[in-house]
Amino acid sequence: MNTHSNQLTNGLTLVLGATGKTGSRICAGLAALGVPLRKGSRSASPSFDWNNEAGWDGCLKDVEAVYINYAPDLAIPGATNSIRALTETARRVGVKRLVLLSGRGEAEAQACEKIVQESGVDWTIVRASWFNQNFSEGAFIDMVLGGQITLPAGDVPEPFVDVDDIAEVVITALTQPGHKGEIYEVTGPRLMTFADIAGELSKATDREVAYVQIPHAAFVAGVTESGAPKEVAWMLDYLFTTVLDGRNAYLSDGVERALGRPPKDFSEYARSVAETGLWRTEM
């Protein structure tokens, strides 16, 4: 990456969802480059809350670039209203660049993309679907530890993408020229079913991790009973009923176009996580 002196802006960059999978990595990467940073989260000061529009001006003060990450997903009802309000505020206070994390194959997310594209502010879209890190930092880590990935996924293949790659694409789009008006659809380098994922996890952990197909209703009931937040249960239901129908079963070149290198493979991700001991279980 270029040094800070070659970067596009010297003003503040606001990273929304700063404590999440992508946001925490983007914050670390920007800090390493010496980019002045403001973390956008409910616990930060000033606090950023999607449900408290009155606080947005304070968060956007002196900000030149914003990473927009809407939790838990742009497909959630009401997301378009929030994205429209945020982009209008950003334009009004003089933000120069927006980078939106969007959902691949999600009509509702594409509606949010259109709002950003028509905001009057320079934009880049980074469009992703299933993350590798769902198995180490997300909803499925307990399944890996338990040796059974129990999901209603069938044998639909997905091009799982690594969050490290997403973060690097976003950092590049936030700090370097040449990414204005680009839609980077980011995927890993191969299509994988959940059974393929289980095979790679078995290899990396040196113990059996099986994929077990379960009925959709049983999965949703299990998520709800686990005490997961309502919107997380909604999102998982949506992903397995709507998005995992084969619509995303093709590779895209977003990582390569943005970074000039191929994306990280799931096997490399699984090996590096296994080496940390995160998936180790007591015998």
- Closest to 108 (Cα-Cα) out of 75, 68, 72: 75
Question: How far is Cα of residue 1 from the mean position of the Cα atoms in its chain?
Answer: 21
The pLDDT of residue 1: 42
In angstroms, the CA 223 to CA 171 distance is 33
In angstroms, the CA 156 to CA 274 distance is 25
Answer yes or no: are the C-beta atoms of 102 and 110 closer than 8 Å.
Answer: yes
Q: Before 46, cis peptide (omega within 30)? A: yes
Answer yes or no: are the C-beta atoms of 100 and 113 closer than 8 Å.
Answer: yes
Answer yes or no: are the C-beta atoms of 24 and 18 closer than 8 Å.
Answer: yes
In angstroms, the CA 269 to CA 169 distance is 17
**3-state class (DSSP) for residue 16:** strand
Which domains are assigned to the chain? 4-132+161-188+249-264 (3.40.50.720)
* Residue at token pair 């990396």: 204
45-to-19, 38, 42, 86 alpha-carbon distances in Å: 13, 9, 8, 18
Answer yes or no: are the C-beta atoms of 65 and 176 closer than 8 Å.
Answer: no
In angstroms, the CA 171 to CA 11 distance is 15
**Enclosing H/E stretch for 28:** helix 21-32
**3-state class (DSSP) for residue 94:** coil
Q: At what angle do helices 194-205 and 266-276 cross, to 10 degrees?
A: 40
The pLDDT of residue 6: 56
Check residue 15 and report its DSSP letter.
E
SS (H, E, C) 113-130: HHHHHCCCCEEEEEEECC
pLDDT one digit per residue (tens) for the chain, 283 residues: 444 445 666 689 999 999 999 999 999 999 999 999 999 999 999 999 999 999 999 999 999 999 999 988 899 989 999 999 999 999 999 999 999 999 999 999 999 999 999 999 999 999 999 999 999 998 899 999 999 999 999 999 999 999 999 999 999 999 999 999 999 999 999 999 999 999 999 999 999 999 999 999 999 999 899 888 888 888 889 989 889 999 999 999 999 999 999 999 999 999 999 999 999 987 5
Check residue 37 and report its DSSP letter.
E
